[in-house]
Amino acid sequence: MHASNLRDGTKCTLLPEYSWGYNHLVRLIEFGDKNQLLASPYANDTGIDWDEVKMSTKREATVNAIIRGHASILMPEIYA
């Protein structure tokens, strides 16, 4: 699993609860050390323009990084 690889192979579980962000499905991944990662998986839909999804995700990650670096509010780190 990609999330496990991001944390040096730490075992993780996709929790059953889910919610909707603005226009994204969001799920929680919980690691063995009880830390959690918020994930926004995409449905396996052949009608999705994956190039646009990649660009949109990169833009969102860039904006969050800029805000995180220049503001005193908490911003999530996005692994895109």
36-71 confidence digits (pLDDT tens): 887 776 655 556 676 777 787 788 888 888 888 888
Q: State how many domains the chain has.
A: 2
In angstroms, how far is the first alpha carbon of the chain from the final one? 14
Residues 1 and 37 in one domain: yes
Q: Is the pLDDT of residue 21 over 70?
A: no
Q: Are 49 and 68 members of one domain?
A: yes
Residues 34 and 62 in one domain: no
Tens digit of each residue's pLDDT (9 = 90 or more) over 24-39? 677 888 999 988 887 7
**Does residue 25 share a domain with residue 55?**
no
- Name, in order, each residue with C-beta under 8 angstroms of 5's C-beta and a sequence gap of 6 or more: none
Task: Extract the runs of DSSP E, i.e. beta strands, from the chain.
Answer: 12-20, 25-31, 36-39
Check whether residue 14 and residue 32 sit in a common domain: yes
Q: Name beta bridge partners: 19.
A: 26
How many whole angstroms separate alpha carbon 60 and alpha carbon 57? 5
53 lies in the same domain as 78: yes
Instruction: Look up the domain containing 71 and give its range.
Output: 44-80
Give the CA angle between residues 41, 47, 52 to the nearest 5°.
Answer: 65
